[in-house]
Structure 1
Amino acid sequence: MVDRANGAPRPADIRNVVLVGGSGSGKTTLVDALALAAGAVNRVGRVEDGTSLSDYDEIEQRRHRSVQLSVVPVWWGGVKVNLIDTPGYADFVGELRAGLRAADAALFVVSAADGVEGVGGASRALWEECASVGMPRAIVLTHLDTAKADFEEMTQTCQALLGGGSAENVLPLHLPVYGPASADGHRPATGLAELLEQRVADYSTGERSWVPGSPGDEALIEQARDRLIEGIIAESEDETLMDRYLSGEKIDLSTLVTDLERAVVRGSFHPVLFAAPAAGEGRQGLGTVELLDLVTAGFPTPSEHQVSAVRPADGSEPVALRCDPDGELAAEVIRTSADPYVGRISLVRVFSGTLHADDTVHICGHGLGAGHDADDRIGGVTAPFGKEQRPLDEAVAGDIAYVTKLGHAETGDTLSGTASPLLIEPWRMPDPLLPTAVRAHSKADEDKLSHSLGRLVAEDPALRVENNDRTGQLVLWALGEAQRDVALERLRSRYGVSVDIEDYRVALRETFAAKSAGRGRHVKQSGGHGQYAVCDIEVEPAPEGSGIEFVDKVVGGTVPRQFIGSVEKGVRAQAARGVTTRYPLVDVRVTLVEGKAHSVDSSDAAFQTAGALALRDAAAQGRIDLLEPIAQVAVRVPDEHLGAALSDLSVRRARILGTEPAEAGRTVIRAEVPEAELAHYAVDLRSLTHGIAHFTRDYLRHDRLPAQLADRARNGSARTPG
């Protein structure tokens, strides 16, 4: 059945479960508590060197926050359960989406200590992430041991905010059983009542034991059990079951359990459970055993997770991947990391076939970089366990494992057989919309900066690096400040590269506000062959998008024909450099009207210089406007925050085009906003709407910059206008 020594179970004996929840909800502690209950560790939250199983990265330990996906496998009842811990902070939604791709079901973790606020905007956004990919999920309440935790209130809150207002598809499987009140009146939960089985489990000794329920709890348990049974029957595929139940027929327990499991797998029913870690070594936390039982008995197997691929070579129809260890190989890189001793390490989910150490595989990607259509040889195959890697002979379909030595593989790439490669469509990554301009701290850092940033982006595709040739800045784009700070910290600690942060600048442009004229005179005589060129030009505004239009109206040959092109070259070169600032000149018509030449001293170089001088002279005689880039923005915002979002946009000099309804409870605001005003908008919008709203942006055009801001730009203000 299961070869635990080799770590190669059958697909039917694997469960891939992602833990999803807001930052501080208790996901990492729950992973450790489940590992303790399953016997994987002997102390909650600790392995031999004293670190947490999930948050073992140095940055995570310093920040006391998960910043990357991690996998902890445990065994329960002959089933391998891969617990996938994900960050709860919005900046790391890319890691969450990777975890959703790797998993077949989710435990949605909510802190009961946070009350109604614990199921606020951030939790709803995470719930919608799960729903968008059809992820089956159960709700786990944590922190029930705190004084203000109220199980019934939290269940009702979950029903209202996560169940779409329905109390029928979000129902508890267990009720907490409380011990004697302490001196401050707090009654800690010491056990639970299983509603379907109608029995009480006591955890007060650190091990689960069955005890008789108290008479005072029987009515409460019976009432909750009736609601649970009605909820299960409402989701049953047997349409006669409800009539039979309402007529007084007693429904067999096995039928209820089967229908419950099917409804959970379909994602139409979300059971509510609770769990708490135990204090002391070798103790089972409250509800951890029941949670493991639900995962192994009620959650879908990898075979029920349908994934398809295509063959890029022939552009054929999608290929449905079968979760069969003997099938053709198809695996996906879920995340990429680097080890100073091992090199690049790829965490992969195997959807079909079997991965062996030293296999040669084909790496196929979506054009994100070099090496995305090449063969490469795997080094080792290992099982993740905290920061440890335990050697494996193979990883079968349905399992998750590390592979080493794939120097070209990046997050989202597909590994398949070399004979007929496959490509799995990667999960959608959010657009990074927070720019940070960086420069190397020293010459030694400069030599390594580009390569190191490339490796960071290979590890985390939610980051983007841009070399902006208009502003001359190197820009790191992130989802938020936390992701940016972690990336810069990794850059320093992992790759030994230090950077300085600059004020981000947008790419301004110049244009003429009205018609002007200028003369360029380049005359030099220093013995021998001299330089002589004179040209007169007229400059006027041209339609938007026309760039630089050059017109020749010379009469009488005052500028010889062979030097007309030289003047144009000089004009265009000066326009690219700008005439009053460092920003390029655009959308003007330059007309060459006359000039002077010398039979010996005139040359191509002389007339290029004269053309540039003429354009600068015209700018000095006329009025130059600065143009700023304008973005077309769509902001998807909860209705309750619509007014605040509109007010905030108006402060940002936005032109509101209108609003339109989106999905229930959401509105889309469409606006045109100066790009300078969007530099910090990703962070500000998240703060304004408690993490629920998001926006998209696309370059639209350049518009004239208001005079006051234009003066600041001309006076050399380092800060971006706006």
Structure 2
Amino acid sequence: MSDKASTHPGAAGRVTTAGRPASVRNVVLVGHSGSGKTTLVEALALTAGAVTRAGRVEDGQTVSDYDEIEQRRQRSVQLSLVPVEWDGIKINLLDTPGYADFVGELRAGLRAADAALFVVSAAQDADSVDGATRTVWEECAAVGMPRAIVVTHLDTARTGYAELTRLCGRIFGGDDPDAVLPLYLPLYGPPGPDGHAPVTGLAGLLTRRLSGYDSGERTESEPGEAELPPMEEARNRLIEGIIAESEDETLMDRYLAGEEIDVATVIADLERAVARGVFHPVLAAAPAVSGGRQGLGTVELLELITRGFPAPPEREAPAVTTPEGAPHASADCDPCGPLLAEVIKTASDPYVGRLSLVRVFSGTLRPDETVHMAGHSQAGHGRAGLTGREDRDDRDMDERVGALSAPFGRRQSPLHECIAGDIACVSGLSRAETGDTLSGKDDPLVMEAWTLPDPLLPLAVAAHGKADEEKLSTGLTRLVTEDPTMRLEQNPDTHQLVLWCLGEAQRDVALERLQGRYGVRVDAEPYRVSLRETFGEPAEGRGRHVKQSGGHGQFAICAIEVDPLPSGSGIEFVDRVVGGSVPRQFIPSVEKGVRAQAARGVAAGHPLVDVRITLRDGKAHSVDSSDAAFQTAGALALREAADRVPIHLLEPVVSVRVLVPDDFVGPVMSDLAGRRGRVVGTEQTVPGRTLVRAEVPEIEIGRYAVDLRSLSHGTGQFTRSYVRHEPMPQHVADRVREEAHSGS
């Protein structure tokens, strides 16, 4: 590929007129934390002339990772949009976090993009392509998303470029490693004092041209005799890999017969194969040297994006339905068509309020127009399917669009419209949440929800002080609105306010944002599971509530029997009073009293379950007996019965389904056994992956989201669902009671 777009043979047939969907490219950057995605985005912005010095805009802020938390942690924690222009094409670069806790931001980027750049660092070990990155690659392959690979950190490489490209072919190519091949080879300068040879340029395999970057500006030259032999071997393999994916079935026969295939034809086939998602070129890139404008490989990468990656009209839009769930025809990527857009991210700005990052799939979005907003609580999807939150009754309404803008770091450049295929920031959508659909108010639609993992790491929080109590609910609600991978729960049993997260990093960022953005200080508490109590043996109890203090007194006596019941039976109340010893009007009072005491617990403060309480006898006074007196007597009788027999603690047991690569099945099963879990079965789901099904006490898996990630190198996934409560082993129950006593 060359940097002359107008003469490039693969450019024919592509409409690149400004302001049309064909002149837009939406590209998401994927890779593990530290792979260099953000640095690459900034290098591309510098090469494209969007910034005047590496990664900086006029106010001195970076174009990506400008959030205070990101700067403090030196890590991306949110999706960033950086639009640049190259050769008349607008490129929306979607920089995503590489850490697994922020996979929701990655999912948003994948939803908004039409192609993906997988960033792999040569500074890591040869196995640096982590499991999470491989999983995303497989998901992109399943939907046919075009992909390319960019190798970074060649200046500090621990893994050679040739070895790394072979690794990428084996990992990403699967059964066809020749579908993942380098387009360029790095050129090295003389070794420095440390013995490391710097990368000074690239050798283009198809064009047989050298690109030098040692001056900070790209220069081209012819290869010398020393460079040609290694180039020819790699070039032949590359051409064979491209021709194998060609739509021209005669091309391979001609090539094998010895015919010299025109370079322009090969390049055109390469671009078509990349756009179809069947060939995945490997490139190398690095930031510009000090004072330079063009980073190594950035021109080549921008050319690949503009000519090889598809424009929005070439990609099929997600499926849509009516708000009632009826099927609806997919919308074409036409600026003049009906409006269909999706909120892919929401954020709060202290000056303009809520900002929504919106991808327009059809039609044109303009400021001050009224649109219909629909969430997934309509169309039968269930809001919990997307966000893990309860359905809301305000997900089907009209909203007025505020100002449109193009984000660039902290700066927002005003837009007068956002056409089909493009992405923009929208203000004024006060109720919009991530995943909501925007459509015409006369033709409301709902887009198919994208998959998000369930947050399974609990964080119990409480307001630090009185002033924080008033702001806590608002702050937490805004957090879960902005990040659909978090869920907020008020536990009815433990009365704890629980923020469910994907991992510890997301948890820590949430706490920082609560204090820094919303001024709310919270204290983290140990998460408590919903324990229950039950009687270990039958027992009898007598409740006597007799008080005389002048005037009407209080008089109520009742005798009860308590019998254990099978698990899941709840509380049964039986009236066996004979002879009217307890007047009929007070029998409901006794039941109310014992049920209230059962809800409060009889030993350790946990609800009592699975018992039958039988009222056998009692006494009443014609004047002093009352509803309140018999409620108290019923509670006292239950407490006395509990004092006479062992009370068992019941713990919740959950069904856990763990999906892991086959290599990790043994360690996962051993780990579950160490958590008092019972493996109930395993099954092969897809080649290379096994589903392990087990039942585990909930108290043992509070940190399982973190531990499984470590155990499976980021490749494991799990879900959980409540099954039942069952007796807790005595030594565990004693420990729980001790912890509760020491914390009280």
State the TM-score, normalized to the length of structure 1. 0.96
C-alpha offsets along residues 103-137 of structure 1, whole Å, 9 cap, x if unaligned? 00011000011131321334323423433543211
- Contact in 2 for aligned 1:308/1:318 (Cα 8 Å): no
- Report the AA paired with residue 582 of structure 1: G
* Deviation of 1:69 (Å): 0.2
- Report the AA paired with residue 705 of structure 2: A
Secondary structure of 2:43's partner? helix
Distance 1:380 1:206, change over 3 A: same
C-alpha offsets along residues 598-654 of structure 1, whole Å, 9 cap, x if unaligned? 222222222111111111111111221010000100111222222222222122111
Q: For 1:375-524, list aligned pairs within 5 A.
A: 375-524=398-547
- Contact in 1 for aligned 2:208/2:222 (Cα 8 Å): no
Secondary structure of 2:128's partner? helix
Q: Which residue, 351, 359, 370 being the options, matches 1:349?
A: 359
**Structure 1 match to 2:232:** 222
Q: For 1:606-617, list aligned pairs within 5 A.
A: 606-617=629-640
**Structure 2 match to 1:278:** 288
**Structure 2 match to 1:49:** 59
- Are 1:306 and 2:354 matched, yes or no? no
Secondary structure of 1:571's partner? helix
- Report the AA paired with residue 453 of structure 2: P
**Structure 1 match to 2:561:** 538
Q: For 1:583-594, list aligned pairs within 5 A.
A: 583-594=606-617
Q: For 1:7-22, list aligned pairs within 5 A.
A: 9-22=19-32
Q: Which residue, 132, 135, 141 being the options, matches 1:131?
A: 141
Distance 1:87 1:147, change over 3 A: closer
Distance 1:304 1:433, change over 3 A: same
- Are 1:692 and 2:715 matched, yes or no? yes
- Report the AA paired with residue 340 of structure 1: P
Distance 1:599 1:183 in 2: 104
C-alpha offsets along residues 132-158 of structure 1, whole Å, 9 cap, x if unaligned? 543211000001112534110000111
* Deviation of 1:555 (Å): 1.6
- Are 1:119 and 2:129 matched, yes or no? yes
- Contact in 2 for aligned 1:147/1:186 (Cα 8 Å): no
**Structure 2 match to 1:261:** 271
- Report the AA paired with residue 631 of structure 1: V
Secondary structure of 2:394's partner? coil
C-alpha offsets along residues 291-340 of structure 1, whole Å, 9 cap, x if unaligned? 00000000010112212454435543232111111111111111111111
**Structure 2 match to 1:40:** 50
Distance 2:265 2:113 in 1: 27
* Deviation of 1:182 (Å): 2.6
Distance 1:409 1:719 in 2: 45
Q: For 1:156-171, list aligned pairs within 5 A.
A: 156-164=166-174, 166-171=176-181
Distance 1:89 1:132 in 2: 22
* Deviation of 1:185 (Å): 3.2
- Contact in 1 for aligned 2:215/2:289 (Cα 8 Å): no
Secondary structure of 2:77's partner? coil
**Structure 1 match to 2:686:** 663
- Are 1:172 and 2:195 matched, yes or no? no
- Report the AA paired with residue 34 of structure 2: G
C-alpha offsets along residues 440-489 of structure 1, whole Å, 9 cap, x if unaligned? 00111001111111111110000111100100100010000100111111
Comparing 92-101 with 181-190, greater Cα deviation is found at 181-190
Distance 2:393 2:59 in 1: 39
- Report the AA paired with residue 306 of structure 1: E
Secondary structure of 2:666's partner? helix
C-alpha offsets along residues 329-382 of structure 1, whole Å, 9 cap, x if unaligned? 111111111111100000100101111111111111113445321111111000
**Structure 1 match to 2:8:** none
Distance 1:175 1:702, change over 3 A: same
Distance 2:694 2:268 in 1: 51
**Structure 2 match to 1:208:** 218
Distance 1:659 1:271 in 2: 38
Comparing 211-220 with 293-302, greater Cα deviation is found at 211-220
**Structure 2 match to 1:557:** 580
C-alpha offsets along residues 384-439 of structure 1, whole Å, 9 cap, x if unaligned? 11111000101100001001011011111111111111111221111000001100
Secondary structure of 1:482's partner? helix
**Structure 1 match to 2:6:** none
**Structure 2 match to 1:317:** 327
Distance 1:60 1:470 in 2: 37
- Are 1:249 and 2:272 matched, yes or no? no
Is there any run of 5+ residues in structure 2 with no aligned partner, and where?
1-16, 378-382, 384-391
Distance 1:300 1:349 in 2: 16
Secondary structure of 1:717's partner? helix
- Report the AA paired with residue 447 of structure 2: I
- Report the AA paired with residue 290 of structure 2: G
- Are 1:108 and 2:118 matched, yes or no? yes
- Are 1:597 and 2:620 matched, yes or no? yes
Distance 1:706 1:314, change over 3 A: closer
Comparing 449-458 with 365-374, greater Cα deviation is found at 365-374
**Structure 1 match to 2:552:** 529
- Contact in 2 for aligned 1:567/1:611 (Cα 8 Å): yes
Distance 1:8 1:194 in 2: 29
Secondary structure of 2:591's partner? helix
- Contact in 1 for aligned 2:404/2:427 (Cα 8 Å): yes
- % same residue: 65
- Report the AA paired with residue 143 of structure 1: H
**Structure 1 match to 2:302:** 292
Distance 1:34 1:58, change over 3 A: same
* Deviation of 1:180 (Å): 2.4
Is there any run of 5+ residues in structure 1 with no aligned partner, and where?
1-6
Secondary structure of 1:290's partner? helix
C-alpha offsets along residues 569-623 of structure 1, whole Å, 9 cap, x if unaligned? 1111111111112110011111111111222222222211111111111111122
Distance 2:432 2:130 in 1: 38
Q: Which residue, 671, 674, 685 being the options, matches 1:648?
A: 671
C-alpha offsets along residues 15-69 of structure 1, whole Å, 9 cap, x if unaligned? 0000100000000000000011111112112222333211100000000000000
Distance 1:125 1:451, change over 3 A: same
Distance 1:677 1:25 in 2: 34
**Structure 2 match to 1:66:** 76
- Are 1:570 and 2:593 matched, yes or no? yes
- Report the AA paired with residue 610 of structure 1: A
Comparing 546-555 with 490-499, greater Cα deviation is found at 546-555
Distance 1:314 1:693 in 2: 36
Distance 2:323 2:88 in 1: 41
* Deviation of 1:242 (Å): 1.8
- Contact in 2 for aligned 1:36/1:282 (Cα 8 Å): no
Comparing 408-417 with 653-662, greater Cα deviation is found at 653-662
Distance 1:76 1:460, change over 3 A: same
Secondary structure of 1:280's partner? coil
